[in-house]
Amino acid sequence: MANRTLRDSVFMRWLVLILTSAVMFFNYYFYDALSPLKDLMQENLGFSSSEYGTFMSAYSVPNVFLLMAVLGGIILDKIGIRITGFVFILFMAIGTTITAYGASETYLSGGFGYGFMNSFWPSVSPALKMMYLGFFLFGLGAETSIVVLSKVIVKWFKGKEIALALGLNLAIGRLGTALALNLSPTLAEVQWTNAIWFGVMLLWIGLLTFIIYIFMDIKIDRQIRETIPHDPEDEFRWRDLKLLVTNPTFIYITLLCVTFYSAVFPFVKYAPDLLMNKYDLERQISANISSILMYGTIVLTPLFGWIADYKGKSATLMYLGSVLLIVAHLMFAKTMIPPYVPIFILGVAFALVPAAMWPAVTKIVGENKIGTAYGAMFSVQNLGLWALPILIGMVLDSSNPNYQTALTNAQYASLQENGLYHGTYHRGKDEVGKNAEFKVKYIVHQDSCTGDIVWKAIHEVRSDANGNYRIHVGEGDVISNAEFEKIDVEQYNLGIRIKDLDKKPEVTVVKETLNISNPQQTYSGVYRSSGELLTNERFEALITVYHRENNDVVYSEKQNLRTDDQGKMKIEIGQGAVQEASYKYFNLRDGNYCAEVLTPLDYTNPMLMLSLLGVLGLFFAFLLKREDKTSGYGLEQPNKTQ
């Protein structure tokens, strides 16, 4: 009993797992929070698919070109968990803040740093440069922090439930990704950058969480020094690096790591956009389906980790996961099978390989080198995570040259006159989409096609036998953005209605005349149909601006409202989620505007590219399984020894 330490307490071990997994959750949340926002970044910041891919690749630049994951692993093995973890998690928190700031209205309106970012490399927007810097710093901290968290788990669970613990840690991290995919579209409904700022808040909470763990780490280190004699062989030595890079088993598992993760993580960055374009789904639905991949791993990764702990077969699990990866990507590339099927298969693959791979590394290298080993693997892995988003973006742009069509001045003037736009639908680079049903986005920007969006509508159309189609602006369209200030208010006698969506019967506002000169309205009373005054209430309201003479709906939006103790409330029209708008009441003639039409993207070539990566991963999994028969590391044997 005298030699027992905190790690021998089941409660303390699993408390450590909860704390470390919380940080992993926050890390993964922010990493994928922007995935459902690709089209919004294109529309609001003017990013192309290539620029979006370049921005996403910034995460991996410090780990590829500065070898920060390797250096971070060495730093971890040399100076320990506490200082390394705190510094690199702090980098993450700062990086997320800069990323969000780069997309904010404050920065884009000339805030701090905008002038400097605009002073060089004029072909790249200041928004991309600032957000790239932020994501770069986030990536600099994120990969090393994952190495730190992995070593924490090895420290507390080695010889015990290590694969299960690592599997649960990964599963909770994947939960962060899943919730990011689910929540980001909702958070972006009113203001699209809300989704980014929420992730920023989580990372600062993560830093506080790790500080709590530091006190536990101090105590267990003191206990270990008191109960276990110091062994010089446990210290990190620089010559250990040579042993890693000359070990065939370690080389094969590292190559499998880079090919496998390069075929999954970059896919997640594009998955919601793929589903929106290939299957004609809404953003929220696409993000929800994409999250199935992660929810599957949340359940299956601990299960496969338990199998590796108690039954073994780690090399076989990695081999099987590589096969399923190829199947899933080929389904996306060449079939119209409902997306739930390939997403589920990919989720199984994404549970199999990590659950078996990361615990297997502890059999190949000693604990004194585990930080360096994981760091080396993460650095090589980041080579793929850096290159693949860029390549996918480039392939998308080259495969879809007709995806984005800017209207000429003559076309825009004609559209304002008769409400019609004529275009030709191209599938991919060369094929004309004949007799096809699809959705088209019609977007009007202020000043230029990278300016603020003042109108965005989605139109369901059908092309003819020659691939030609037309859209009727203002007829049958779904409005997702309409700038209230652009309503031609001086020409019309407008009123306002408010419905309380939380109560029955509906609550209406007595005062109905809209003060055109002041859209920030203060209303004196809100009554039920019985005449009862509503005081100190919060409710979700549908605010409708209508033409008082013909009763046309001009504009409507949802807002959360509050009445004071006298029944008064302040309504700021134009700040809610747009529900309906009539194009003919908006003055989009007077001033400088840029209009564009966006048609669906073809993702066939990017998915074939990811399938090829899966084939390479299968080859390395085969070599790893064969090498295990002669290496003596026992990757097919159970992990649990006591």
Q: What is the pLDDT of residues 396-450, one digit of tens each?
A: 989 998 888 889 888 888 888 888 999 999 887 778 889 988 889 899 998 888 7
Tell me what pLDDT residue 282 has: 84
Q: Quick one: DSSP state of residue 459?
A: E
Indicate if the pLDDT at residue 641 is higher than 70.
no
Q: What residue spans in the chain does CATH classification 1.20.1250.20 cover?
A: 12-400+601-631
pLDDT band at 113 (very low <50, low <70, confident <90, very high): very high
Indicate if the pLDDT at residue 231 is higher than 60.
no
Tell me what pLDDT residue 512 has: 53
Give the orientation angle of helix 49-57 with respect to helix 370-399, to 10 degrees: 170
CA 329 – CA 325 distance, rounded (Å): 6
The secondary structure of 222-265 as a DSSP string is HHHHHHS---GGGS--TTHHHHHHT-HHHHHHHHHHHHHHHTTH
CA 474 – CA 377 distance, rounded (Å): 54
pLDDT band at 306 (very low <50, low <70, confident <90, very high): confident
Instruction: Give the number of other Cβ atoms within 10 Å of residue 9's Cβ.
Output: 13
- Is the Cβ–Cβ distance between 191 and 576 less than 8 Å? no
Judge residue 16's burial from the number of C-beta atoms within 10 Å of its C-beta, 0-12 exposed, 13-18 middle, 19 or more buried. buried
Q: Quick one: DSSP state of residue 532?
A: P
Range picked from 1-10, 244-253, 369-378, 629-638 for highest mean pLDDT: 244-253
Q: Which residues fall within 8 angstroms of residue 429, CB to CB, at 6 or more apart?
A: 398, 399, 400, 401
- Is the Cβ–Cβ distance between 437 and 460 less than 8 Å? yes
Q: What is the mean pLDDT of residues 114-121?
A: 91
Indicate if the pLDDT at residue 219 is higher than 50.
yes
Q: Greater confidence, 321 or 239?
A: 321
- Is the Cβ–Cβ distance between 469 and 434 less than 8 Å? no
- Is the Cβ–Cβ distance between 63 and 376 less than 8 Å? no
Instruction: Give the number of other Cβ atoms within 10 Å of residue 337's Cβ.
Output: 10
Q: Which CATH class is domain 12-400+601-631?
A: mainly alpha
For the chain, state the CA radius of gyration.
28
Percent over 90 (pLDDT), the chain? 30
Q: Greater confidence, 207 or 568?
A: 207
Tell me what pLDDT residue 239 has: 62
CA 286 – CA 535 distance, rounded (Å): 40
Q: Which residues fall within 8 angstroms of residue 475, CB to CB, at 6 or more apart?
A: 419
Indicate if the pLDDT at residue 1 is higher than 50.
no
CA 431 – CA 436 distance, rounded (Å): 12
Indicate if the pLDDT at residue 382 is higher than 90.
no
- Is the Cβ–Cβ distance between 227 and 2 less than 8 Å? yes
- pLDDT tens digit sequence for 614-627: 999 999 999 988 88
Indicate if the pLDDT at residue 326 is higher than 90.
yes
- Is the Cβ–Cβ distance between 180 and 187 less than 8 Å? no
Indicate if the pLDDT at residue 254 is higher than 70.
yes
Tell me what pLDDT residue 22 has: 94
CA 102 – CA 135 distance, rounded (Å): 10
- pLDDT tens digit sequence for 591-614: 889 999 988 889 999 999 999 999
CA 508 – CA 519 distance, rounded (Å): 18
Cα dihedral: 497, 498, 499, 501 (round 10): 150
State the DSSP H helix or E strand holding residue 460, giving kind and residue range, or none if neither.
strand 453-462
CA 478 – CA 486 distance, rounded (Å): 18
Tell me what pLDDT residue 275 has: 93
- pTM across the whole model: 0.75
Q: Greater confidence, 564 or 31?
A: 31
Tell me what pLDDT residue 234 has: 46
SS3 548: coil
Residues in the chain: 642
Tell me what pLDDT residue 245 has: 73
Beta strands in 187-335 (DSSP E): none
Judge residue 266's burial from the number of C-beta atoms within 10 Å of its C-beta, 0-12 exposed, 13-18 middle, 19 or more buried. buried
CA 272 – CA 495 distance, rounded (Å): 39
Range picked from 233-242, 347-356, 357-366 for highest mean pLDDT: 347-356
Instruction: Give the number of other Cβ atoms within 10 Å of residue 326's Cβ.
Output: 21
pLDDT band at 238 (very low <50, low <70, confident <90, very high): low
Instruction: Give the number of other Cβ atoms within 10 Å of residue 529's Cβ.
Output: 10
- Is the Cβ–Cβ distance between 316 and 625 less than 8 Å? yes
CA 226 – CA 539 distance, rounded (Å): 61
